[in-house]
Amino acid sequence: MSNVLPINNAQRRKELLRQAEQCVCTDRNLTYGDAEDNFTSIAKYWSVYLGGKITAVDVGSLMILFKLARIQNNPTHQDSWVDLIGYGACAAGIVLKPVVSPSLTPPPAPPSGLLYTPNSTGTWGHGAGLNHDKHGVGHCDPHPPKND
DSSP string, 124-143: EEE-TTEEE-TTS-EEE-SS
Quote the pTM value.
0.62
Q: What is the mean pLDDT of residues 11-31?
A: 89
Burial 112-137 (b: 16+ CB within 10 A, else e): eeeebeeeeeeebbbeeebeeeeeee
**Residue-wise pLDDT tens digits, 26-66:** 888 888 888 899 999 999 999 999 999 999 999 999 999 99
Q: Determine whether 74 is exposed, middle or buried from the number of CB atoms within 10 Å of its CB (0-12, 13-18, 19+).
A: exposed
Closest CA to 62 of 78, 45, 79: 45
Q: What is the pLDDT of residue 6?
A: 61
**Residues contacting residue 50 through CB under 8 Å, at least 6 positions apart:** none
